[in-house]
Amino acid sequence: MLNHGPAADVFHALGDPTRRALVEALARGAKSVSELAAPLGISLAAVVQHIGVLEKSGLVRTEKVGRVRTCRMDPRGLNELERWISQRRAEWNRHLDKLDEYLLAEELERKGNAQ
C-alpha cells in the first residue's frame, strides 16, 4: 500500500496540475519563483507553497541569494517513482507468469483428455 514514504510524497506532489506545470517549467531550466508564477496567474505565496511540496518530495531544490529564490529540478526525485513502478511491474510479471503456467497446464490437460 502506498500511503507513506518517498514515493507517496512524489505522487502527492505530482497529483496537482499546478505542481506538474511547475515541474515541466523547471525541466526546461532553473527559474526564480517570480518567473514560475508569471504564466500561472497565481500569487507568489501560492507558488512558494507549491514549491515547498515539490521540495519535500525531492523533485525540486531551491537556493536563495539575496531576495531571489531560484528553483531547479532535481531528477533524482524521480528515482522513487521509477523504483515503485519497477516493483509493481515485477509483481505483475510474476502474476502473469503464473497465469501463463496455469493456462498452459489446462491446455495440456484438455489435449490429454481429448485423446
Please tell me the pTM assigned to this model: 0.75
Rounded Cα distance between 62 and 70, Å, is 5
Angle, helices 6-14 vs 17-27, to 10°: value is 100
Reduce the secondary structure of 29-75 to three states and give it as a string. Answer: CCEEHHHHHHHHCCCHHHHHHHHHHHHHHCCEEEEEECCEEEEEECH
Task: Please state, in angstroms and rounded to a whole number, the distance separating the CA atoms of residues 58 and 15.
Answer: 15
Amino acid 32 reads S
pLDDT in tens, the chain (115 residues): 456 677 899 999 999 999 999 999 999 999 999 999 999 989 999 999 999 999 999 999 999 999 999 999 998 888 988 988 898 898 899 989 899 888 988 888 888 877 6
